[in-house]
Amino acid sequence: MKRPYDGGICARRLMQYLYHQRQRPAENSIAYWRKFVAEYYSPRAKKRWCLSLYDNVGHHALGVFPQAAMEAWQCDMCGSKSGRGFEATFEVLPRLDEIKFGSGVIDELLFLDLPREFRFPSGIMMLEYGKAVQESVYEQLRVVREGQLRIIFTHDLKILSWEFCARRHEELLPRRVVAHRVLTAGRQLAKALDLQSVNDLGFSKRYVRGLEKLSSSQQCNQNQMQKMQEMEQLVNVQGLPTDRNTLNKLMALHPGINNHVSNNNHVVSRGALVVQHRLLWH
């Protein structure tokens, strides 16, 4: 059971978060983002973006992610199971921030309605905004997303869950730019302003590629770790040494054993993945 909480402590913590995000160094170093994420996020944190309420997402926006992941997606705010959304966990957040601010975003603003705070008996706190506007500022473009924001904090004010459920977005051009190029054809204008670097949903293509690469790398590492554990169980049964060097040699010298393990354990639990993210559309 959640109880209204009027302390404002979560809203103040969010303001600190936004302040330090804007105070990033000019070199946009990964070291800064690792420190930032460690300061504000729980190691169990997930950050999720839901685009289920968009009414103009076509098949041209489909990503390259597994159908099984699409079927698993559900937004905790709007309740949609459309599969249109993505998420990232603690381990990849520093790299995603570095990519975001290194791919054309020069500022990120958040305009918020009145907050609602709740505290659960466990000490977990929830901060909700019924209306939230996120604005990504590029040199000659602004991407404005309108939706709802929900943040869940641990008792020590670390972000456990960040969910933004977007209803729509707009891409805005400065009037001076439009006036200067009023006679330019739309396609030429888009090329001149590098709009092609932003996809139909307003996200940097480099940012989306980063999500894809990080997910693939993390899944590969997870699969390798699982194979090592399975090999260790196998050699235990056979009474062989179980140190890592021995396991690596066995896997290299006897691929048949590795195939045997893989064939007998081909189902990998999605819940065991260290990092999950999805950019999924119907």
Domain boundaries, the chain: 3-217, 223-266
Are 29 and 102 spatial neighbours (Cβ–Cβ below 8 Å)? Answer: no
pTM over 0.75: no
**Burial letters 65-101, b for 16+ CB under 10 A, else e:** beeebbeebebebbebebbbbbbbbbebbbbbbbbbb
Over residues 141-170, mean pLDDT? 94
Over residues 200-208, mean pLDDT? 70
Cα distance from N-terminal residue to C-terminal residue, the chain? 35
Whole-number pLDDT of residue 6:
58
Looking at the structure, give the CATH architecture of the domain made up of residues 3-217.
Answer: Roll (3.10)
Q: Considering the chain, what percentage of its residues have pLDDT values greater than 90? A: 39
Are 78 and 50 spatial neighbours (Cβ–Cβ below 8 Å)? Answer: yes
